[in-house]
Amino acid sequence: MSTETPGTGELSLPQAFLLLATNDKDGEPEVPPSVLKAGLAGAILAELDLLGAVRLDGKYVRAVGEPPPSDFRHQWELIHDKSRPHSPRRWVAMLENRAELHRVYEGMAALGVVTHVGEKHLGVFRTTRYPEKDHVPKAALLARIEGVLNGSASDARTTALIGLLHAAGLMDKLFPGAGPGRLRELTGEHWPSRAVRDELRMIRLAEAEAAT
């Protein structure tokens, strides 16, 4: 597979996913924490896939080539060094964590895309939000997605982002006019997005069982 790296000044897929999953004004996520973490984990897999650093080999994800020159080298090393291969859904479950959310958000804060806002309670920081600081990156992402949806543009990175947003239930909020048929056509074969949907299905089943 041919590799595709972000252009100069372009956000990575994990950054793009979190930016579009976060409210511009108050910096709060637009989806529940479990969805946000699973979507981010899927975006990391999708980024490594676009870089040609991992591939889906039958039912399993395998690391290929040399470590990628990216912020997600650690995750590549986890996949590479694992004694036995795992399915995409299993890797989403293994990669989703709160620390990675903050790392990616802080990376965007360092770029000036969002602002780190920490709220104190009794002198201790209890919550952190990341409201938008510069709207240009988000506007560019939305324009690119619009172009792919209407067929006037096409690129693997934006299509992967659409798949991740769709898996997280965000496309209905961002582009309510996007038809389900068009979304399936664009993203049906994107394995990281399928892995996110599978993981969220398992989470919902576990929550339903715990509630009974």
Residues 148-195: tens digit of each pLDDT:
999 988 899 999 999 999 999 999 999 998 988 999 999 989 999 999
Q: How many structural domains compose the chain? A: 1
Do the domain assignments include residue 1? Answer: no
pLDDT at 2 over 60: no
Give, as one character, the DSSP assignment of residue 69: S
What digits encode the pLDDT tens for the residues 113-128?
A: 999 998 666 555 567 8
Confidence of residue 1 (pLDDT cuts 50, 70, 90): very low
Span 199-212, mean pLDDT?
Answer: 89
Kindly report the CATH number assigned to the domain that includes residue 201. Answer: 1.10.3630.10
Q: Which two tokens stand for residue 110?
A: 């360092």
Do the domain assignments include residue 97? Answer: yes
Contacting residues for 2 by C-beta, under 8 A, at least 6 apart? 52
Q: Angle 13-20/136-149 helices, nearest 10 degrees? A: 100
Whether 23 contacts 30, CB under 8 Å = yes
pLDDT at 138 over 50: yes
Do the domain assignments include residue 3? Answer: no
Query: How far apart, in whole angstroms, are the C-alpha atoms of residue 166 and residue 164?
Result: 5
Do the domain assignments include residue 143? Answer: yes
Nearest to 157 by CA among 7, 34, 29: 7
Do the domain assignments include residue 5? Answer: no
- Report angle CA 96, 99, 105 to the nearest 5 degrees: 100
What range defines the domain where residue 77 resides?
A: 13-211
Do the domain assignments include residue 159? Answer: yes
Note the pLDDT of residue 7. Answer: 57
What digits encode the pLDDT tens for the residues 18-71?
A: 999 999 999 999 999 999 999 999 999 999 999 999 999 999 999 999 999 889
Do the domain assignments include residue 2? Answer: no
